[in-house]
C-alpha cells in the first residue's frame, strides 16, 4: 500500500489486435481485480462476418472493451484496456487509446493479417507499441526478423514471444512496453 504522502502513478495500457488473438485472455490473466469483460456470445448474425474457422472453440467476442488493473508496486498501477478486434468496433479505439502510454499489439502467427489494423493504428498515431507474438498451441516459431519483415516494422519496435494465459509472461510484455515508451519519450526530448 502507498504511504500517506505517496500517490501511485497510474499508467493506461492499450491491448489491441485482431479478432481472437488473446486480448481478453491477457487482461484476464494479468488483472488483480475481477476484470470487466464485455464478451457476448457469437450469434447467427456473426456468420459470414466473424471467421471462426481457425479458432476452434471460440464462442464469445468482446463488444466494447476489457478492463483490468495490476499494482506493480507502491509507485505504479497499470490499467489495461483491451480493444474489440472486429472492424465494426474499431470506432471505439480512439476513446480507449486516449491517455494511454502505449499499446501491446497481440499477434497470432496463424493469422498474421489480423494484426495489420492495430499496427497501422499505432503507427499512424505515433503511439509507442510492442508486438507480442501470442504462443498458441502449434504456432511456428519464426525468427523475429522474419516477423519484423512480414509486418514491415521499424527496427525500434520490440517484438516479443509471450503466452496470454500466463500472467508473468504478460507482465514481462507490459514492462517492455513501458520501457519502450519511456525510451521514446526520452529520445524525443
The candidate with the shortest Cα–Cα distance to 105, out of 58, 148, 55, is 148
Asked whether the CA dihedral 101, 117, 64, 36 is positive or negative, the reply is negative
Q: 177 burial class (0-12, 13-18, 19+ CB within 10 angstroms)? A: buried
Q: How far is Cα 39 from Cα 31, in angstroms, rounded to an integer?
A: 16
The candidate with the shortest Cα–Cα distance to 175, out of 82, 72, 97, is 72
Asked if pLDDT for residue 113 goes beyond 70, the answer is: yes
Q: What is the pTM of this model?
A: 0.84
What does the pLDDT read at residue 98?
A: 94
142-180 pLDDT, tens per residue?
Answer: 889 999 999 999 999 999 999 999 999 999 999 999 999
C-alpha cell at 171: 507482465
41 strand-pairing partners:
60
C-alpha cell at 175: 514492462
What does the pLDDT read at residue 160?
A: 96
The candidate with the shortest Cα–Cα distance to 15, out of 155, 131, 137, is 131
47-88 pLDDT, tens per residue?
Answer: 555 665 566 666 666 656 799 999 988 999 999 999 987 777
The candidate with the shortest Cα–Cα distance to 144, out of 159, 130, 155, 132, is 159
107 strand-pairing partners:
133
pLDDT-derived band at 107, boundaries 50, 70, 90: very high
- Cell numbers 517492455: residue: 176
Amino acid at each position: 500500500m502507498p504511504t500517506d504522502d505517496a500517490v501511485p502513478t497510474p499508467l493506461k495500457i492499450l491491448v489491441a489486435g485482431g479478432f481472437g488473438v488473446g486480448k481478453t485472455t491477457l487482461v484476464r490473466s494479468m488483472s488483480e481485480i475481477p476484470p470487466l469483460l464485455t464478451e457476448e456470445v457469437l450469434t447467427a448474425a456473426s456468420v459470414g462476418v466473424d471467421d471462426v474457422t481457425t479458432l476452434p472453440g471460440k464462442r464469445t467476442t468482446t463488444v466494447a472493451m476489457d478492463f483490468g488493473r495490476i499494482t506493480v508496486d507502491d509507485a505504479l498501477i497499470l490499467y489495461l484496456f483491451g480493444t474489440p478486434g472486429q472492424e465494426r468496433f474499431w470506432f471505439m479505439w480512439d476513446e480507449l487509446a486516449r491517455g494511454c502510454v502505449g499499446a501491446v499489439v497481440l499477434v497470432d502467427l496463424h493469422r498474421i493479417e489480423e494484426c495489420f489494423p492495430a499496427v497501422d493504428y499505432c503507427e499512424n498515431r505515433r503511439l509507442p507499441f510492442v508486438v507480442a507474438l501470442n504462443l498458441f498451441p502449434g504456432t511456428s516459431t519464426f525468427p523475429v526478423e522474419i516477423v519484423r519483415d512480414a509486418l514491415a516494422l521499424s527496427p525500434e519496435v520490440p517484438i516479443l514471444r509471450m503466452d496470454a494465459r500466463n500472467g508473468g509472461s504478460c507482465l514481462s510484455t507490459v514492462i517492455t512496453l513501458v520501457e519502450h515508451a519511456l525510451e521514446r519519450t526520452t529520445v524525443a526530448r
